[in-house]
Structure formats: C-alpha cells, structure tokens
Structure 1
C-alpha cells in the first residue's frame, strides 16, 4: 500500500497547477486555493495575532499543553505561502506534540527581500520570550524555505545572544540558496514538485544583491556551534536532498546533536500529505516525539 500511495502522490504533484518559479501573484493565489480546498479538522482553532509587530496565526488542537509552544515557519521559497496557509500542517504537528503552535507570517520576497524573513523570525521569538515563555518550552519547526529559515534564525539568535529554543525540526529544508547541491541535478527527474530553475528564480527574488552563500541566507555555510538538538527529515525523491544532508553534516561538524531521516521515494515536504501517505504520518509522529523528548522544565 505504501508504494501505491507514493506513486499516487507523485502523479498528483506532477500534474498540479503550482509552479514555484512562476509569476508571484498568480502562484500565490494558486497556492492559497490548493490549501483552502482541504478542510481543517473540527478540533483545530486558528486565530490571527501578532508577536513583536509580526503577524502570526495561533493554532490550537484538543488536549494541548498550554505551557509548550512551537514556533512554526511555513514554506514557499520565501515568495509564496503564508501563516494562514500553513495551518493544516501546523495543526498536524500541534496535535502530535500536544503543543500550541504559533505560525509566523514573515514578510515575503520580492517585496521584502533578505534579511526581512530572518528579522521577522527573530522579532517573533524575542517577543515570545518577553511574554514569559521559557526557551526550554519552545521548539522551532519549519518546512522547505521555512526549514532553512529555522536554521538561519537559530544562527541569528546566537549572534544576538538570545537563548536557543529547546530543539528544532525541519522538513525538506532549503538551506543552500546557491542551489549547488549534487541532488539539484541528480534528483531533477524524480522530483515532482521543484525544479532547479524555480529555486534559482526565487533565490534571486529573495537575495537581491546579497551573496547567496551568506550564512544567514544559506545556513549550510554558517557556524552552527551552540545550536539546539536538530531533526532533519527529507525525501529521497527531491532536489533538496543534499541541502538536508549537508545541513546535518555541518551540524555534526559543529557538535550539534542532529538526527537525519531520509524517507525513501517520497517528495518535497511529504509530511503535508499525512491523510494519504502512511510515511508522512510516521514522519510527523517521529518529529513530535523528538520535540517532546527535548522539552525541559
């Protein structure tokens, strides 16, 4: 059954309307329509709010521990997506981790280029700490560009001498905006969702004149010393496979406790398809277990 599920998901993505590298306004609308077509479970609450002047969506499910918070960063190649669009996957994480999730609606490129997203992430976290939530009860989660943003934000927190969260889990992180990993070419025919050209287009939108190897843009080039325990999940059928592998290697090189999980024959951010893919359900359970294991009182 799992193999059939993987094949069905591959076909769905290959024939979907989303073009990550296409016209920004058009693709934002398509992305939103795709997400909006999937109804949320009845037990999910999503409320607009703000943290440190940054818009957020607070996502809650039944039986959560109000003392535990996941700061969530959506994907979309720094140009697409939004906190409201992330509620479905964020709620899946919230339910399994039994924590409140705050999804950060960071500013998008090309209107707001680098380092706007990092600045917003740091501001939201700083405000959460200011509300009295201890860093030991905060975890970061991000997918795709949001996964790269998690790592970049952790590096920025170190530079700002702010305490690190208890842990971070990233799904299919885009961690190299030079778009130079070997899998960019090697996995291009297998990836049903992303293309090298799309990533290069969005990287230019986000970076402008900034060096794509700048550590806060591409954390695989950063000094990761002192970061909290890190879980990285990635599919073997995606062009960002090497981003995940190299981020894990960089973390290990700098003595960061890191777990890398490569899930076979699944696509980019496969965790978002837990309703139809058993691997996604298992991956989310593993991520939640990792987060809960690293809470401290």
Structure 2
C-alpha cells in the first residue's frame, strides 16, 4: 500500500514538465499542493499579522488558546498558504490546536532577511493574541523548517521566551550544500536536486551573504537552549543529510531532539496526506509531539 501510494504521488509530480520561471514554479507548487482540498469541517480565515499575510485555521475540537505557527516550504522562492493548506490544517487537527500559516515575502524579489523578518513579525503578532510561548509550537517544511529554526535563534538572541517546541519536516538546513545525500539520493528524489538548490540559494542569499551564517544555515548554529524538536525526513530525499546532521548538532547541544526517517518517503511528503497514509501517520506523530510539549495553563 505504502509503495503504491507514494508512487501515485511521484506520478502526480512528474505529470507535467518541470517549470522554469519563478511565476511558473509558484503556480505549479500551488497546483500540486492543493490537489486535494481542505477537509470540509475545517474553518480557515485570512488574517493581517501586522502587515504580514497569514491564515488562521481550526478543526473541530481544537484549542483556540494554543497555536501552531507554520512556515511553508518552497526554497524561499515558491510555496504559499494555498500549497500547504491541507498539510497545515490537518497538522492542527492532529495537534488539537489552532494554526497560523504565514505567507512571508519570497525571493528573488525579497531576498534574505525579508522572510526572517516576516517570521519575527508573525511571532510578535501571535503573542498579541494572548497566547503564551509555552502554548505555541513552531513548524515548517524545507525552507520553512529553516525559518522556524531562525526564528528561535532570533528570539534566544533577544532574550525573549521561546516556543514550546519545534516541528521540522524535511528541513533545508545547509545552504552551502555539503550534505552527502545530495549525491547519493539524486536518482530517487523527484523534487530536490543540487542545481535547483543552488539556484534557490543564489536567489535567496546572493553573494556576499555568508551561507554558513546561523540564520542562513542553522546546521552550523549553536543550538544550545533550543526547545524540544521533532525532525521528520524521508529516506528518498536529497536533503536527508540536512536532517540527520541537524539532529546530531542539536543532540550535541543537549537539545531534546527526536529524528524520524520515514522509509521510501519523498521531500515534504505530508503535504499529500489526503491520499498518503504515511503522510497522515507523520502528522499524527507530529500532533502527539506538539500536544506533549504544549503545557496546559
């Protein structure tokens, strides 16, 4: 069953030629990400987060007094609330919490640090809603996972309270692209390849930006004091080493970190949870993790 389902997603992703231009790439990711609509019992509402576009969502039985702040993937250049709406809303259901998804500014029109600034603005907006950090989880996939880590880094540097936990799906943590699986998983990853990543990195962090900087590549950051983290990654993705090395870095800094490597799964596979059992299972694990770390007050 798992093989047939993931093969169907692979077929969906390969059903059209890979787009080239930025607008075409954005349209394609929105298209494949929203192939299956949000469940009919989920309520979604657009929100202005102090100048940053966002969307609230809530499923029946979820708590409005706690939140999952989520940053979508797309290499900082693509992706949106639309492409990740099914993922975010079902994560909120699993965690029994309201979600706030952020449409941060994208490169190349808005290179670093625009996305990180929007993440910090969204965090402060969420705090104005009366939700304490102990009741907030931050999450993201791919570049969004990088953003979640960058937000925590900025909050720690400012001496602010940190979120209760971090949920990271297929995080892109090394923009120097030194991970060995960029080579060893090249043939099995249908989405992410070195040349594509290099183009994204050039758009988001053009020279002379230091791509080993902790806000660009959190793999090289000091993660001391970071909250508990769940890292989920597929065995069939070129960014596997970005996740495994992050777990090692976090563990060495005494962070409470859980690493899950999902057999045969591809980059950001929970996006297609509607037709992928392993996507639903991954979200269930994330929901349990978030619930276990968001304290009741």
- TM-score w.r.t. the length of structure 2 is 0.95
- Which residue number corresponds to residue 114 of structure 2? 116
- Which residue number corresponds to residue 103 of structure 1? 101
Q: How does 1:1-297 map to 2 (within 5 A)?
A: 1-19=1-19, 22-209=20-207, 210-296=209-295, 297=297
Q: CA deviation at 1:52?
A: 2.9
Contact 2:5/2:276, CA 8 A, preserved across alignment: yes
Contact 1:55/1:104, CA 8 A, preserved across alignment: yes
Q: CA deviation at 1:217?
A: 0.8
Contact 2:235/2:266, CA 8 A, preserved across alignment: yes
The C-alpha deviation readout for 1:141-175, integer Å capped at 9, x for no partner, is 11111011111111111112111100010110011
Q: CA deviation at 1:36?
A: 4.2
Q: CA deviation at 1:3?
A: 2.4
State the superposition RMSD in angstroms: 1.4
The C-alpha deviation readout for 1:56-78, integer Å capped at 9, x for no partner, is 11111111111110001001100
Q: CA deviation at 1:123?
A: 1.3
- TM-score w.r.t. the length of structure 1 is 0.95
Give the secondary-structure state (helix, strand or coil) at the position aligned to 1:234. Answer: strand
**Number of paired residues?**
295
| Structure 2 stretches lacking a partner, 5+ long | none
The C-alpha deviation readout for 1:241-261, integer Å capped at 9, x for no partner, is 000001111111111100000
Contact 1:236/1:264, CA 8 A, preserved across alignment: yes
| Structure 1 stretches lacking a partner, 5+ long | none
